[in-house]
Chain A
């Protein structure tokens, strides 16, 4: 069974950093592109970015390129999202997802709240 489990969320002060993890299981992690999508409270889906199998290609939505960094550890079957200079606009549920003709599997999401 394919499983994606995010962790590392919580309450963080404005201007601080936070690193999210996404533990993958049930499939060959290093065969797939992976991505991050977020959803602000009561809002729609926003694509954050993607990373290919060997981390040689990483793409971001332009507005987040200087704040967020996507990485992966294929030995640990884990995807990461390093977030810096967080502001209230970054308050959202963060999902990791597997690319396979679209996002075919999603994690349960992890909540990040940016507030003083």
Chain B
């Protein structure tokens, strides 16, 4: 199975500042079709996860452009600029390149 390793486990951010979350995969997520199959989700407290970023760098529908995704074949970053109170929750990276699909352990974002 592809292992997704996130860092840090938690991050505390002052509203208005930026935050970055890292994710590393145990295998390249770059398919021969040129698509990198890494995804980012946010699970707000008491809610279901929601898709933020698909295929490494594409913003999902309705997601503010304060969120952005980038990376290489095995190292990925979710950046949140101008953090707001509504961004609090647990962020998960995930891969859809191979079955079983796997997720990182999550990064908890809190406000200072």
Chain B contacts for A107, CB-based, 8 A:
48
**Quick one: CB contact mask for B94-112 with A, threshold 8 Å, 1 for yes?**
1010011111111000000
Assembled-state Cα–Cα distance A46/B96 (Å): 13
> Do A47 and B51 touch (CB < 8 A)?
no
Assembled-state Cα–Cα distance A62/B96 (Å): 16
> Do A109 and B48 touch (CB < 8 A)?
yes
Among A96-111, those with CB < 8 Å from B are 101-104, 106-109
We find that the number of chain B residues with CB closer than 8 angstroms to chain A is 23
With A103-B41, A104-B51, A106-B49 as known contacts, state yes or no: A61 contacts B104, CB within 8 Å.
Answer: no
Q: Is B32 in contact with chain A by the CB < 8 A criterion? A: no
B70 → A minimal CB distance (Å): 16
Chain B contacts for A104, CB-based, 8 A:
51, 54, 60-61
Assembled-state Cα–Cα distance A59/B103 (Å): 16
B68 → A minimal CB distance (Å): 16
Assembled-state Cα–Cα distance A47/B101 (Å): 6
Assembled-state Cα–Cα distance A62/B92 (Å): 21
Q: How many A-B residue pairs have CB under 8 A?
A: 57
Chain A contacts for B48, CB-based, 8 A:
95, 106-109
Among B42-98, those with CB < 8 Å from A are 43, 48-51, 54-55, 58, 60-61, 92, 94, 96
Chain B contacts for A62, CB-based, 8 A:
100
With A102-B60, A106-B48, A107-B48 as known contacts, state yes or no: A47 contacts B103, CB within 8 Å.
Answer: yes
> Do A101 and B55 touch (CB < 8 A)?
yes
With A44-B106, A47-B103, A61-B100 as known contacts, state yes or no: A103 contacts B49, CB within 8 Å.
Answer: yes
List the interface of chain A (C-beta within 8 A of B). Answer: 35, 37, 44-47, 49-50, 59-62, 95, 101-104, 106-109
List the interface of chain B (C-beta within 8 A of A). Answer: 39, 41, 43, 48-51, 54-55, 58, 60-61, 92, 94, 96, 99-106
